[in-house]
């Protein structure tokens, strides 16, 4: 079956604009994760969904960042009033179960490269 897909693959926006990044997880995966990866760094956890609910949003850096997963499948990461420091690759991953202490493998999408000018 298809893997995790993310759209768009690249997004260039201007400071202060609003952006939405989309993630399509593997069918049947209940857990979905968003990460942010800056150049030369490892993925930084943002938020984790179990089904439709955000089970852990402790990684969201501030209230400009918000994510939804209304039907327990596709998720959208929303960033308001973008800043140059938001420039990074945003990764999405899904797994069958998930969460702390989980043994499940996370399957990653190719990422969306966000550039804020």
Partner 1 sequence: GDSVTQMEGPVTLSEEAFLTINCTYTATGYPSLFWYVQYPGEGLQLLLKATKADDKGSNKGFEATYRKETTSFHLEKGSVQVSDSAVYFCALSDMRFGAGTRLTVKP
Query: Would you tell me which residues interact with partner 1 (CB under 8 A)?
Result: 33, 35, 40-45, 48, 56, 59, 91, 93, 100-103, 105-111
Give 32 or 82: the residue with its C-beta nearer to partner 1. Answer: 32
Query: Do the Cβ atoms of 69 and 75 come closer than 8 Å?
Result: yes
Minimum gap (Å) between residue 14 Cβ and partner 1: 27
Give 8 or 16: the residue with its C-beta nearer to partner 1. Answer: 8
Give 25 or 109: the residue with its C-beta nearer to partner 1. Answer: 109
Question: Hey, how many other C-beta atoms are within 10 angstroms of the C-beta on 75?
Answer: 25
Minimum gap (Å) between residue 63 Cβ and partner 1: 21
Query: Do the Cβ atoms of 51 and 38 come closer than 8 Å?
Result: no
Residue 116's DSSP bridge partners are: 13
How do 5-7 and 75-79 pair as beta strands? unpaired
Minimum gap (Å) between residue 110 Cβ and partner 1: 5
Distance CA 98, CA 95 (A): 6
Give 48 or 65: the residue with its C-beta nearer to partner 1. Answer: 48
Minimum gap (Å) between residue 116 Cβ and partner 1: 22
Distance CA 10, CA 8 (A): 5
């Amino acid at each position: 079956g298809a893997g995790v897909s993310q759209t768009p693959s690249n997004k260039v926006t201007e400071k202060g604009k609003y952006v939405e990044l989309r993630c399509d997880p593997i069918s049947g995966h209940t857990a979905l994760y968003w990460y942010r990866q800056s150049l030369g760094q490892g993925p930084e956890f943002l938020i984790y969904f179990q089904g439709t609910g955000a089970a852990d949003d402790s990684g969201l850096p501030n209230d400009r960042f918000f994510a939804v997963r209304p039907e327990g499948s596709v998720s959208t990461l929303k960033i308001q009033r973008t800043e140059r420091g938001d420039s990074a690759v945003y990764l999405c991953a899904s797994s069958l179960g998930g969460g702390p202490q989980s043994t499940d493998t996370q399957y990653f999408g190719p990422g969306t490269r966000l550039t804020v000018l």
